[in-house]
Chains A and B, each alone.
Chain A
Amino acid sequence: EIVMTQSPATLSVSPGERATLSCRASQSVSSNLAWFQQKRGQAPRLLIYGASTRATDIPVRFSGSGSGTEFTLTISSLQSEDFAVYYCQYYNNWPPTWTFGQGTKVEIK
């Protein structure tokens, strides 16, 4: 069973600053890695898939990188609407199963 570990648990960042979130897989997941944003009381929103491809209508300030076991989500200049919880997700294409990390909360410093 693959385990996804995110760090840090909480990240305090000032608006306009860069945020760097990490996700580590317990074994290689190739590039089968997605990132989601979830705001309080809302459903998750897909940001990145394939480790580095932005989903439709996602701003360019969101970027993903990595492959194998180490992945990073970077938000280049935090906007007020970006303060939320971020989850990484390993997806297996077949059988189609998902494993989520425990989340990183990005809060206002």
Chain B
Amino acid sequence: QVQLVESGGGVVQPGGSLTLSCVASGFTFSGYGMHWVRQAPGKGLEWVAFIQYTGVSKYYADSVKGRFTISRDNSKNTLYLQMNSLRAEDTAVFYCAKDSDYGVKVADYWGQGTLVTVSS
């Protein structure tokens, strides 16, 4: 069965950096685009970034552009999110999500999330 397991969250000071990982299993990781989505405590969902299955094409929300970098290692079935210049408003649970088999850009599987807290 499809599994997505995020890790790397924690407490970081404003201006600091953190790298999140998402290990995938149960499907051919190298064949699917992947997304990061975040959810601030008690708030709604916000799309963060997307990476194409080859790793060549990447897209970002304006709120993180220039600060976050999405990448993947298909040999390790792992998705990454490098986060720099972190701000208090980046505090959130970060989910990785897999493009669906439905032929449209929706996610059919999500990980359980990893919490990032930006605080001094």
Contact = CB atoms under 8 A, between A and B. Distances in A.
Interface of A: 32, 34, 36, 38, 42-46, 49-50, 53, 55-56, 87, 89, 91-103
Tell me which of A45, A87, A98, A101 has the highest count of chain B C-beta atoms within 10 A of its own C-beta.
A98
B37 A49 contact: no
B45 A44 contact: yes
B108 A46 contact: yes
Given A55-B100, A96-B105, 18 more contacts: A32-B104, A43-B95, A43-B110, A43-B112, A44-B37, A44-B45, A44-B110, A46-B108, A50-B102, A56-B108, A91-B105, A93-B104, A95-B59, A96-B33, A98-B35, A98-B105, A99-B47, A100-B47
Contacts of A87: 44-45
Given A95-B59, A97-B59, A34 B110 contact: no
B112 A91 contact: no
A4 to B, nearest CB: 10
A97 B110 CA distance: 16
Contacts of A32: 104
Contacts of B108: 46, 55-56
Interface in B50-85: 50, 57, 59, 61
B47 to A, nearest CB: 4
Contact of A98 (B37, B57, B111, B112): B37
Contact of B47 (A42, A49, A98, A102): A98
Interface of B: 33, 35, 37, 44-47, 50, 57, 59, 61, 95, 99-100, 102, 104-108, 110-113
A34 B105 CA distance: 10
Q: Which 7 A-B pairs have the closest CB atoms?
A: A98-B47, A43-B110, A96-B105, A100-B45, A49-B106, A96-B50, A34-B106
23 contacts: A34-B106, A36-B45, A38-B45, A43-B95, A43-B110, A44-B37, A44-B45, A44-B110, A55-B100, A55-B102, A87-B44, A87-B45, A89-B106, A93-B105, A95-B50, A96-B33, A96-B50, A97-B47, A97-B50, A98-B105, A99-B47, A100-B45, A100-B47
